[in-house]
A and B are shown apart, each in its own frame.
Chain A
Amino acid sequence: GIQVEQSPPDLILQEGANSTLRCNFSDSVNNLQWFHQNPWGQLINLFYIPSGTKQNGRLSATTVATERYSLLYISSSQTTDSGVYFCAVGSGGFKTIFGAGTRLFVKA
């Protein structure tokens, strides 16, 4: 089946810094989503982005489907951005596979 790799596995930032999280996948996809799991365990959908670029406030995402990767940009990070960021991909139907995540800690 399709493989998903996220990097880096862990990231520590000073508040106000910018960061880029990466998601590589092993096959063509028709479904790619980014999620944030906050310290209380809630999973929040950030983007549905099988291709192209989207922006939502301080967050933006780009997926280059032909090269099999997606990037999540966080600008001017805040302590509330802490948590785990997951990339989830699907290559057929709705069977979506999650990566292992990037654990982010933003220091005040």
Chain B
Amino acid sequence: DAGVIQSPRHEVTEMGQEVTLRCKPISGHDYLFWYRQTMMRGLELLIYFNNNVPIDDSGMPEDRFSAKMPNASFSTLKIQPSEPRDSAVYFCASAGSSNYGYTFGSGTRLTVV
């Protein structure tokens, strides 16, 4: 398996623009997680899905953030409109209910100017 695949690896955008981050989990994994990493706040869980259904989105900062998982092999995290304080590395991870260890993608480094 190619592991968890995230795209793009880097994104630079202007304040106010819409940003869409993408994730393909490991085939057969039924849990998918979105995390954000910053120097100030460390690794924060934003939202997680089980069998494509959002289970807990209490970590989503505000209404500007939204996440979807239309099928078992694809998820998106959207920020609209983006702000400079959204600059961070966004990680996607997946896990299977038979082996709970997380596998992380390589992350997307987002810079909002």
Residues in chain A within 8 A of chain B (CB atoms): 31, 33, 35, 41-45, 47-48, 86, 88, 93-101
Contacts and interface: CB of A to CB of B under 8 A. Distances in A.
Given A94-B33, A97-B45, A98-B42, A42 B104 contact: yes
Contacts of A47: 101
B83 to A, nearest CB: 23
A41 B45 contact: no
Interface of B: 31, 33, 35, 42-45, 48, 50, 55-56, 89, 91, 93, 95, 99-104, 106-107
Contacts, number: 52
B45 A96 contact: yes
A33 B102 contact: yes
B43 A86 contact: yes
A45 B101 contact: yes
